[in-house]
Amino acid sequence: MATSKQQFIDFFPRLVADLLRDLDELEALPESKAWIKRVLELNVQGGKMNRGLSVVDALAVLRFRAGTELTTADRERATILGWCIELLQAFFLISDDIMDASITRRGQPCWYRRPEVGMIAINDAFIIEMFIYRILKKYFRADAFYIDLVELVQDVTFKTELGQNLDLITAPEDDVDLNRFSMDKYRYIVRFKTAYYSFVLPVAMALMLAGIQDPKAFQQAEAILLPLGEYFQIQDDFLDCYGTPEMIGKIGTDIEDNKCSWLINQALLLANPDQKSQLHQHYGKRNAEDVAAVKAIYQDLGLKQRFHDYESQSHTDIIGLIKAVDPALVPHQIFLDYMSKIYRRTK
């Protein structure tokens, strides 16, 4: 029997075929269909798929609590919603890579970096986003929660874009000013840019599929999942600096990109006046010497150990939050599964 992950992967060609049939109904020309098929296959697949798989996993926990197992229909519906999140992720990543002038993504050149693509990638991202709503309409229009589901995706997309907005205006690449940075801004950025779509959205979708309507269940889930998302993004920031391209599937560029990352915010809190001056001089510059100078200050400030201390404390704190949740509203296992996937991850 195929694993849950393999079943998830195996469903993707069927979804692509559905979307291409949509294009047939719109009398799309063969070259458009071929292009869009390639857009989907090269941008939506290839990641770890944790977000998409989390819908299936969370629904399985909810069914188990109710004394049943996932039916074939359950698995299919959760898989479809999981792929909707992966489409949303692809939409964000294509756009993000352009804005950040990134080089690689998932071990391959960024989509916009391909000679035949360039700025066509912007429209490709729009198409991917719109496919989400065509999928929701096709598979969930008859469900009582359909409008809530559509509004959930819209709300999470908007929040993610607000997080991206603050990220970009706080740290424009052509105007480096570390005085704009603060941990308060950082927390807003990571909660809105990452936590809602990566953590809150999959569980909220699973709760809807399970027929749960109590607003308190959604509120309690969010109260755990937002801190989990913040922890996840801080890991990402650490790995961007200290992970290798082989480990993380991309070349980290947060220092060059003038990113308002956890590391630079911690450095600014800990640095003496001379170190702060050096950070202002070297941060946000696109050459190896400046990057090395910033990393040397990180080393002097002991940021690696500070991250490991933070990681241990966050694990303790989040486990405490989980224990405080009423399991009658949301099973603890949903959150514990998340924690087991991301705690001390290396990619």
Q: Which DSSP letter does residue 212 get?
A: -
Query: Nearest-5° angle of CA 237, CA 240, CA 246?
Result: 145
Of 193, 250, 259, 306, the catalytic one is 193
Is 218 known to be catalytic? no
The type of residue at 35 is: W
Q: What is the DSSP letter of 180?
A: G
Annotated active-site residue in 97, 236, 240, 257 = 236
250 is catalytic: no
Instruction: Give yes or no: 105 in active site.
Output: yes
| Alpha helices, H only, the chain | 4-25, 30-43, 50-65, 72-100, 120-140, 146-170, 183-190, 201-209, 215-242, 245-248, 262-270, 273-282, 288-300, 303-324, 332-342
Catalytic residue among 57, 74, 97, 100: 100
The β-bridge relationship of strands 104-105 and 108-109 is antiparallel
Closest CA to 315 of 227, 243, 187, 198: 227
Residue 270's contacts (CB-CB under 8 Å, 6 or more residues apart) are 301, 306
Contact 62, 331 (CB under 8 A): yes
**Is 237 labeled as catalytic in the residue annotation?**
yes
CA distance 58 to 243: 29
Question: Is 140 in contact with 146 (CB distance < 8 Å)?
Answer: yes
Q: Give catalytic status of residue 309 as yes or no.
A: no
For this structure, is 238 an active site residue? no
Is residue 92 flagged as an active site residue? no
DSSP, residue by residue, 51-116: HHHHHHHHHHHHHHHTT----HHHHHHHHHHHHHHHHHHHHHHHHHHHHHT--EETTEE-GGGSTT
Is 300 among the residues known to form the active site?
A: no
**304 is known as an active-site residue:** no
Select from 59, 67, 219, 209 the least CA-distant residue to 146.
209
Catalytic entry in 105, 187, 191, 250: 105
Distance between CA atoms of residues 167 and 48, nearest Å? 24
Residue partners of 310: CB distance under 8 A and separation at least 6: 234
**Which member of 8, 12, 91, 199 is catalytic?**
91
Active site residue 177: no
The catalytic site residues sit at: 48, 91, 96, 100, 105, 167, 193, 232, 236-237
